[in-house]
Copies of this chain bind each other. A is one copy, B any other.
Amino acid sequence: MTSVPTPPWRKSPKPVKQQLSQALIVETGLRILDSEGLDALSMRRVAQELGTGPASLYAHVSNKDELLELIYDLILGEIEVGEPDPANWKAQLRAYALESHQVLGRHADVARAAMSSVPTGPNALRLGEYMMSLLISAGMDPRDASFTVDRLSLYIAGDAFEGSLHFARMRAQGLNDRKEYIRNFVGQIKDYYQSLPPEQFPMLTTYVDELTDPDGEQRFEYGLDLMIEGMAARMK
């Protein structure tokens, strides 16, 4: 195999190496997170992907936590919201919750950052502004609206985080089919509950089927509606 000389018209071939920048680091982090999960996302791994050493990242990002928060806000950018319509606040709030939940679910492992982060990124601000204006224009008291936004956000992030823990466990077992993993997992709990002494655990043994419903989306919506109905009860 002979090596070809670079042709003369391609002058001063730029160094292959890309310039480092915060945006580049964050994007690389997101890519790793999505394809290999939170456990794989390390400063060293990001650096490797960018062809450099881990120390180089610290010129653009102060530590791993900050990197995670930046990735988190990047993801929040995927959530789109429209104009608040006071007459439809319930449906709009519900739609918002479902969409955020979906977006967080799509990037499973960022959910942890969602729980620890302070809402100061540009997208977090945008979404906070949206939720507040929706609830307040619907007639909710500002204090109630603030608490509601806080609690709803916690619920969404909490459910997504729980999901991400299952997802990580699945990956640790070398499995890939999310549906099948859940079915299997739930099946094991079912067997266990069924094997319990009915005298001591009459409820758990009687209602095994209800307790081991594998439909996570349905469970999420159930809790969401519980909260929304609670809000409605408080407003009228």
- On chain B, the residues within 8 Å of A185 by CB distance are 118
Question: Is A204 an interface residue when CB atoms closer than 8 A count as contact?
Answer: yes
A129 touches B204 (CB 8 A): yes
Number of copies: 2
B125 touches A201 (CB 8 A): yes
Q: Which of A21-29, A88-96, A206-214 faces chain B?
A: A206-214
A189 touches B118 (CB 8 A): yes
Q: A111-133: which residues lie under 8 A (CB-CB) from chain B?
A: 115-116, 118, 120, 125, 128-129, 132-133
Among B120, B159, B213, B228, the residue within 8 A (CB) of A189 is: B120
Q: A9-28: which residues lie under 8 A (CB-CB) from chain B?
A: none
Cα(A145)–Cα(B118), bound, Å:
34
- Residue of A115, A125, A151, A166 with most partner-chain B CB within 10 A: A151
Kindly state the interface size class of chain A when it binds its partner: 35 or more
- Residue of A145, A222, A225 with most partner-chain B CB within 10 A: A222
Question: Is A32 an interface residue when CB atoms closer than 8 A count as contact?
Answer: no
Q: What are 11 A-B contacts defined by CB distance under 8 Å?
A: A118-B189, A128-B203, A129-B201, A133-B202, A145-B210, A147-B213, A149-B211, A150-B219, A154-B155, A155-B158, A158-B158
- Shortest Cβ-Cβ A-B pairs, 10 listed: A158-B158, A226-B230, A151-B223, A132-B203, A146-B210, A230-B230, A229-B230, A116-B165, A147-B222, A146-B211
Interface residues of chain A, those whose CB is within 8 Å of chain B, are: 115-116, 118, 120, 125, 128-129, 132-133, 136, 142-143, 145-151, 154-155, 157-159, 161-162, 165-166, 169, 185, 189, 192, 196, 200-204, 206-207, 210-211, 213, 219, 222-223, 225-234
